Structure 1
Amino acid sequence: MTNDRELALELDRLVFHSWSAQSKRPTFAPAGGSGSWLWDHDGERYLDFSSQMVNVNIGHAHPRIVAAIAEQAAVLPTVAPSAANLARGRAAEAILRHAPAGMAQVFFTNGGADAIENAIRMARLHTGRDKVVSTYRSYHGNTGAAITATGDWRRIPNEYARGHVHVFGPFLYRSEFDASTAEEECRRALRHLERVIEAEGASSVAAILLETIPGTAGILVPPPGYLAGVREIADRHGIVLILDEVMAGFGRAGGWFAFDVVDDGAARPDLVTFAKGVNSGYVPVGGVIISEEIAATFADRVFPGGLTYSGHPLAAASIVASISAMEDERIVEHAAQIGAEVIGPALHELADRHPMIGEVRGAGVFWALDLVSDPETREPVAPSVVAAIKAACLERRLLVFTADNRVHVVPPCVVTADEVATALAILDDVLAAVAAA
């Protein structure tokens, strides 16, 4: 008799996986979870320091969200987006409760990529301009405009959208600007951005699109003053500022939004995209938070965009429950505290013991270890090294998120100090073993 794990892996051969060569199949088949833990069909427990796709912010199977989805399913499991729906309205109200002053409405999508698509559409229609400026070290999703706005390698085989321009954002550890201080990096990155906008023709630029803290690109916390400087450039040239909070929002960086943490909220966006942590992915959902000025553009003008499942009531109910639970349980505050007092200091101690760790970056429960083969030259480790680290962690029942030459330490916002200690002890052993191999 085939057990459930074997059956799951056998049936998985019928599934076409994203970002994968299809001959390389998953070996891990989780059966359930709670908080920061998952377990497989044999009952083996795994500590989830990946939050899956850096989205399970509130942890696995939070009872309030599970109950809210079930209750909504029993009452009204689906409804057209053209109708008024109480769950949808309450979800928008809950999101706007934590948005900056001057934000008026929420447009719901199925996820982060189509949130980016629609934010770009709004910016172009609002300004009457076409071009979108984004950074090379970024990821915005895998739909037409979103993947073209992306800066990393995934953009190159998928460039079908028009009007996209890329710049280098600030990243002092691997500076493109020969900077030696955060102040220099900030100033030169802002000058570079403005010069590209001028060279492209500022009157042709609809939007500057930035991940507030670039996530998959390496958790690149911008230097003080950068986002405020971008806001000033956008204002001076009449450009819409879109901040992508799909990964960094809803507690991940230790604030309701990452722009609350970076520059003390000085860089008020015109549009905010979200997904992932808004309901921890329990039901697919994303959206765009829209400023009063841009919302007014479409008061009497039809917005030419929409989705069958926009504001799906099951997703809306999960958002309301998630935000309410995060408020009541002070989960965002916990993420900020455990990042500052436990995760950050522990990662810096780990770096002191392992020359392979070139830099530690992050905030809240959003951290990256930049791994190098030579601390002096900062040469990134080979992909095989990162693959070996990930495999060794999995063998020890620790799930980690890796990208390029980095290990990202991104547990749920509800992670405990004891769980952090357990995970980093495993990572400590694995780094030592891989370095000695």
Structure 2
Amino acid sequence: MQPTDPVSLASPGSVPDEHAQVYGRIARRLLPLLLICYVACYLDRVNVGFAKLQMAADLGFSDSVYGLGAGMFFIGYLAFEMPSNMILYRVGARRWLARIMITWALVSAATLFVRTPTMFYGMRFLLGIAEAGFFPGVVLYLTQWFPSAQRGKVITLFMIGIPIAGVLGGPVSGWIMEHMKGTGGLASWQWLFLLESLPSIVLGFVLFFFLPNSLSDVKWMSPDEKQYVRSQLANERRGKADASFTQMLLDRRVWICVAINFCNAMGQYGIGFWLPTLVQKMGIHDNFEIGYLSAIPYAVAVVAMVLVSRSGDRLRERRWHVAGPALVGTLGFVLSTLLVNQPSLAIAALTLATAGVMTTLPLFWCLPTAFLKDASGAAGIGLINSVGGLAGFASPFLTGRLNDVTHDARYGVWMLAAWLVLSAFLILSIPAKLVNR
């Protein structure tokens, strides 16, 4: 039987012909659900960027208040990320990921009750606690099904949930903001938080009933296929040190990955939290128009992520496939500030920036998973994501402060570009033999 998966997950020569379809079948069973969940996850995390278009005026919030509130999410996220990932490792992905989704949906919906800056900060902090562990938990989960040679494409197919959330969320959020104002006595931004939280609740229950915890749970693979996947993963693990938690904390490579993830995330959340505002500053004020124009950069990013990840897996090269897009993102950010008075060209520059930033994300996760495994892998991935996730606090907060102090949005954008240059430098400092697998 020939593989039916339109995206072949086997690198040429890396898997015997008789097993080439195994990873495609696993991907078809697991990735669509996980992808849809991540779309809902990212939308609930960054829809505050669209809410700001009217929420700030209704509640009297400055850019500094908004930036601090948007970033408070990541303080809660940091505090609970590693413990959450360790719990997932012990109790299994199905129950823990479902719990995370339902909890964050309820907190996101409750944000409609915010009235003061303190309430805004508190709700964002609670949302971070609720969501902590979802992304690194899924990355850890995927390493239990796919070996390193398949992982670049697999993680990319999961992480395109970020730009897909932008493609779908932009027009939907713009429509809600434009048409729901005053309905039922609620402001449009209140409807935004309420309506966009509902899919996450439904998906949480779907995860609980349909996501398998491990190979042992599935009935759609033969014993021989299961044994083949187990042997591939076991062979790969034999090349990794079984480090203790303390050794993981003292591993210089882990902290380099923390720094790289921080730099990349500065650009990612600069796009996620400020893109609608940047479009608005080009002189576009219709919320629906802002929504669909904001979707364009994310649509291009989906294509770029898939193409670059395929190239990285085919060539077994990781460093330049992460550093290169980071430098492309830098160029896009800088050009967007030079072309701000030419909206069409400025949107093209922001598209370049978004494609570059988003493309760094999935292939980056091939770096730490190349040398971490099992319990130390769970802790290491959680540490890298949580400490790196501090950028989710720093990026919107510093951008907001720079906007208020300088009254010029260019300085915030230039700051984001500088972080991406540092990311590229750190990536290229890692020995190629360590990660090019």
Q: TM-score scaled to structure 2, two decimals?
A: 0.29
Report the structure, 1 or 2, having the larger strand content. Answer: 1
Considering fraction of residues, name the structure with more helix: 2
TM-score, structure 1 normalization = 0.29
